[in-house]
Structure 1
Amino acid sequence: MSRTQGSQDVGKAILRIALGALILVHGISKLMTGPGFIVQVVTKAGLPESVAYLVYIGEIVAPILLIIGLWTRLAGLIIAINMIVALALVHASQFGDMAPTGGWALELQGMYLAGALAVALLGAGRMSVGGIDGRWN
């Protein structure tokens, strides 16, 4: 393994583990408080209530897969889709807003989306359960 390959694998691991851990905390919060807010948001948008429960796949299952490095590209894609839906249904009115402390009001959501897309494109790397040649890694 070249020095370049090794640093790329470490970088991929840091990206997917950090993203997975941060998104997982959101999912754990939803497990503790229940899906009420999400149900309200999706039904207000005219979607069936059952769609609200997909958030658990995007914020519990997919982050765990990222953290361990299994089906990483698929998990990254699921998180990206989850973020796009969240941006459209919850944060659409904030797209042009600035944060009180400076910067874009949606910079965290934007970084989650960009990180998820990067993981989906880069894969897990060698430092993962699935390994570099694992399916969807």
Structure 2
Amino acid sequence: MLQNPDIAKLLLRLSLGILILFHGIHKMIHGLGGVKAMIASTPFPTFFAYGVFVGELIAPIFIILGLYARIAAGVLAFNMFIAIYLAYGFSLSLSKHGGLSWELALVYFIMSILVILLGSGKYAVNSK
């Protein structure tokens, strides 16, 4: 049986980083109007919306490279937690396909936690 935890960690990092990076690129191209609107309904200032660029552009690049991936995954996990809170309020509402309406953000959150727990593996810029 083939067992290589470093390949698994690489696959986890690449999957998480690349997939969330698309969300960041979309927000960079199309703007943060939706995020700003959600933040406007809270007591926080709307400039906090620009934190999305840290969580969905910078952190994924660090995760992909395996450069301080645990820290970057922590930033992304926080970003996903806030996204779930702002967009869904942790409701138990279901999507039209039967899953939680916020399951994609939850999967990204869980994947981020896994990177924090497992680390980058040997196929990373700052591996040991």
Q: Percent of pairs identical after alignment?
A: 35
Distance in 1, Cα, partners of 2:100 & 2:31: 29
Aligned residue identity for 1:51: F
1:26 aligns with 2:28: no
Aligned residue identity for 2:114: A
1:65 aligns with 2:65: no
1:75-110 per-residue CA deviation (whole Å, 9 max, x = no partner) reads: 110000000000111111x62122222222222111
Distance in 2, Cα, partners of 1:102 & 1:121: 30
1:12 aligns with 2:9: yes
Which residue does 1:36 correspond to in 2? Answer: 33
Paired residue for 1:114, among 110, 115, 118?
Answer: 110
1:13-46 per-residue CA deviation (whole Å, 9 max, x = no partner) reads: 0001100011100000000011121112112212
Paired residue for 1:96, among 85, 92, 112?
Answer: 92
The range that moved more, 24-33 or 47-56, is: 47-56
Unaligned runs of 5+ in 1: none
1:50 aligns with 2:47: yes
Aligned residue identity for 1:8: P
Distance in 1, Cα, partners of 2:34 & 2:94: 24
Aligned residue identity for 1:19: L
Post-superposition shift, 1:63? 0.2
Q: 1:100 to 1:42 in 2, by over 3 A?
A: same
1:96 alignment partner, SS class: coil
Which aligned segments of 4 or more residues in structure 1 are displaced greater than 6 angstroms? none
Distance in 1, Cα, partners of 2:32 & 2:97: 30
For these two proteins, the number of residue pairs brought into alignment is 127
Unaligned runs of 5+ in 2: none
What is the TM-score when the length of structure 1 is the normalising length?
0.87
Distance in 2, Cα, partners of 1:100 & 1:35: 26
Aligned residue identity for 2:60: P
